[in-house]
Chain A
């Protein structure tokens, strides 16, 4: 029958009947369960189905800071408030993960709450204190272009990229047939926040206009004749073409 082996008393080395090794009060190697006797502050190595390394106070039943470092400014630090610090032993206010030095990620990283750039305010609970310095949106996709009065349109797919509150759009129609109506395009991927300009080229749809504006609070682009604010009138003809792009603020 196995028996516990102790060398050096309570602060010595103990090998328990279950194979756990306790070196003084500060180093425990356990299979599963708690070291025996379950007292003291120390580093614990556990096996079993969920192996772990932890710094724990068995007497007070609390986790202790844990560091892998050669000095207080290097390595990996797990603090008492569950912050993880890499490269620094002192966390910035509110930081949950702080890395001092360059970060390289070889797989996709997700920042669902945005990325604060130059944010000098006090952020808490994931809420940036300076939204104007927070990059919170990036998106690429397509939109369906609807030209007023157009038919037999070769291509109705436009492209967009949104970065923050700016949306860049582009579109090339290919050949289409037009009628003499107000030259407007609807279907923008996002409503515009203010009046903003777009430009066109290779444009045989509205020969008197090469630009226009995105209407406020809408998904509509309106061509305007040079020097005018009224909406241009498209020509009525076949084999028309339009190439257009613009950037607008939402």
Chain B
């Protein structure tokens, strides 16, 4: 019996405004058979520091977060206050 606990990038979603939804899965296996999987989530906003993130996440951020996307997100957030 070899119990292994590891974290993997379970899901990456790109929002309309360029934000990246990231689900990190903690997976417990026993001899390769998955026993449990739990989720942890966060959202990366355009322009966020992705140092230390999964290479796949960095690749998505690099592709999606153009100067225009980041600028549009920053402008939208600055204006986002209910009246």
Contacts A139-B39, A141-B39, A190-B21 hold; do A218 and B82 have CB atoms under 8 A apart? no
Contacts A216-B80, A229-B81 hold; do A191 and B42 have CB atoms under 8 A apart? no
Provide the A122-154 mask, 1 if CB < 8 A to any CB of B, else 0. 000000000000000001111110000000000
Question: B12: CB under 8 A from chain A?
Answer: no
Q: Which residues in A have their C-beta under 8 angstroms from that of B19?
A: 191, 217-219
> How many angstroms from the CA of A139 to the CA of B40 in the assembled complex?
10
> How many angstroms from the CA of A14 to the CA of B80 in the assembled complex?
83
Interface pairs A-B: 4 shortest CB-CB: A141-B39, A189-B41, A219-B43, A142-B40
Question: A160: CB under 8 A from chain B?
Answer: yes
A226 to nearest B CB, angstroms?
15
> How many angstroms from the CA of A160 to the CA of B40 in the assembled complex?
9
Which residues on B are within 8 Å of A, measured CB to CB?
15, 17, 19, 21, 23, 38-43, 45, 76-77, 80-83
How many contacts between A and B, using CB within 8 angstroms?
54
- In A154-195, the 8 Å CB interface with B consists of 160, 187-191, 195
* Interchain CB contact under 8 A, B38 and A141: yes
* Interchain CB contact under 8 A, B39 and A229: no
Question: A199: CB under 8 A from chain B?
Answer: no
> How many angstroms from the CA of A215 to the CA of B73 in the assembled complex?
13
* Interchain CB contact under 8 A, B15 and A143: no
Question: A198: CB under 8 A from chain B?
Answer: no
Question: A205: CB under 8 A from chain B?
Answer: no
5 intermolecular pairs with C-beta atoms under 8 Å apart: A139-B39, A195-B82, A215-B80, A218-B19, A218-B80
Q: Which residues in B have their C-beta under 8 angstroms from that of A56?
A: none
> How many angstroms from the CA of A180 to the CA of B39 in the assembled complex?
33
* Chain B interface, >50% SS class: mixed
Q: Beyond the given A140-B39, A188-B43, could you list 13 further A-B residue pairs with CB under 8 A, ordered by the A residue number?
A: A141-B23, A141-B41, A142-B39, A143-B40, A144-B40, A195-B82, A215-B77, A217-B17, A217-B19, A217-B80, A218-B77, A219-B19, A219-B42
* Interchain CB contact under 8 A, A187 and B77: no
Chain A, interface residues (CB within 8 Å), range: 20 to 34
Q: Which residues in B have their C-beta under 8 angstroms from that of A217?
A: 15, 17, 19, 76-77, 80
Q: Which residue of A lies closest to B83 (CB)?
A: A229
Question: A213: CB under 8 A from chain B?
Answer: yes
Q: Which residues in A have their C-beta under 8 angstroms from that of B23?
A: 139, 141
B1 to nearest A CB, angstroms?
23
> How many angstroms from the CA of A63 to the CA of B9 in the assembled complex?
44
Q: Which residues in A have their C-beta under 8 angstroms from that of B83?
A: 229
Q: Which residues in B have their C-beta under 8 angstroms from that of A140?
A: 39
* Interchain CB contact under 8 A, B43 and A189: yes
Q: Which residue of B lies closest to A194 (CB)?
A: B82
